[in-house]
Structure formats: C-alpha cells, structure tokens
Amino acid sequence: MNKLLSNRWLLLIVLVFVASLIGVVVSHRSIDPATATLHTLANGKTASPATPGFNDKLFSLTDPASPWVIVNKQRPLAPKTYAPDVVVPNMPLRSSDSSGEMHVGKQMAPSLEKMYEASKAAGVPLMLASGYRSYDLQVAVYGAEVKNYGQATADRESARPGYSEHQTGLAADLEPVGRNCEVAQCFGATPEGKWLAANAADYGFIIRYGESQEPITGYLHEPWHVRYVGVELAKEVKQKGNIPLETFFKLGAAANY
C-alpha cells in the first residue's frame, strides 16, 4: 500500500514539473526578454520583439530637429512654422535647384545622396520629386488638394500646414529618373520602387506610410515617400515588419485631426 502511494506521488511530481516547463516555453514565446509584449499590426500580423540593447529613448519624439520626431495628425510641429537648415542634395532633381522643394534637411542630405549612388550602381537611379516644404508652401499644396478633391480626400493624401513631415526636412518623395509612376501607387511595382523598399533601411530611411496602415497613420499607402530616422531605427522598424512609427513608439493611432 505504501509503495503504491509512493508511486502515485512520484507520478504527480513528474506531471507538475512537465506542466511548469510548458508554461515557461509559452511565456518565452509570447513575451519579449526585455518584457516588451509583441504587437499586433493593422494587417493582423505580429511584430517581432525589440532587439536587445536597442535604446528607444535615444532621441526626442517632439523636438522638430530630432531625427525621430513624430509628426502626424495628432502631433503638429512645435512651432508650426518650424524651418530646418536645408541644402540641395547632389542627385537628380525633378525641377530647378532654385525650387524650395528641391532642398532637403542638412542632416538627411548625406544619407540621401549615398542611397541615390547605391540605386544608380544597382541600375535603378532615383530622383528627388519633392523634399522640404515650408509652412507657406504646404498652405498652397494642401489648399490646392482641398479645392480640387475636397477636404476628406485631401486629408488622406496631404498634410495640413504645420502637420507635414516634409516641413521637417526629413522626408522626401522619390521617383525613377524616367519619371514613370511619378508620385503614384504604381511606383511600388517599378524596379526603383522595389529596390527602395528593400534597401532604404540600410541608409537610414523607412517607407513612412505603408500598405494597410491608413487606420494608424491616416494616410494612403505612399511607396514613394521616405522618412529619414537613422540606420539604427530604420533597421529596427524593418525587422519588426515595417510597422508605423506610431506603433513602434506606442503612441496610438493618428488617423484623424
């Protein structure tokens, strides 16, 4: 009788031990070692956990001069008339270098030039379609969108003055030098668009408004619109499945003003 009880206790101990091992495995699959939980994206996919050692507090998210500043419909520039130091990048330009839009932020220019040289070497040279836009220029751009298409459509395709990434000098619209699929959805299917999506992170850029991200960003997919954030963050965003900056920094959706 004592031997039978002893065997039963031994079996119970073994079962408890196995159950605890299963719990540890499940825990490690669902929770990041750094205690950051996995993110469910707008498209239903799950983002990878943060890379160990990545410092998500390295730069300000509010300083307009910061490479990580987040500008969206809920986060205007402060001040709204902010103007960065800008230069004309050494690459093909859609219009004259005297045009304000053919300038980009000084801190972004070297990386943009390196990316252009790499695209050229790959046989898919890129051209700058639109870079920096001042507050006053954005007034005109947004106003024209509203006049031509109505405010609802304009707010999906263009930012209001003071809410535009272009005003930071850290965003650029790119296109093929042949100007096919110029600032259009079909750009993503061109050799230049495919190269940009695959290689932008190596030079510190992300495709800011990705596919199926409108519920978070508030903008239609723009495969031509890149945003400079630096190589470290760009690669981290890519590794997580090219999630929006709002999701990456846990800021919540910014689909509406």
- List the catalytic residues: 222
Q: Alpha-carbon distance 185 to 18, whole Å?
A: 53
Pairing of β 86-87 and β 104-105: antiparallel
Instruction: HSE, CB side, 13 Å, CA atoms: give it for residue 250.
Output: 7
Residue 128: count other Cβ atoms within 10 Å of its Cβ: 23
Alpha carbons 71 and 79: distance in angstroms, whole number: 12
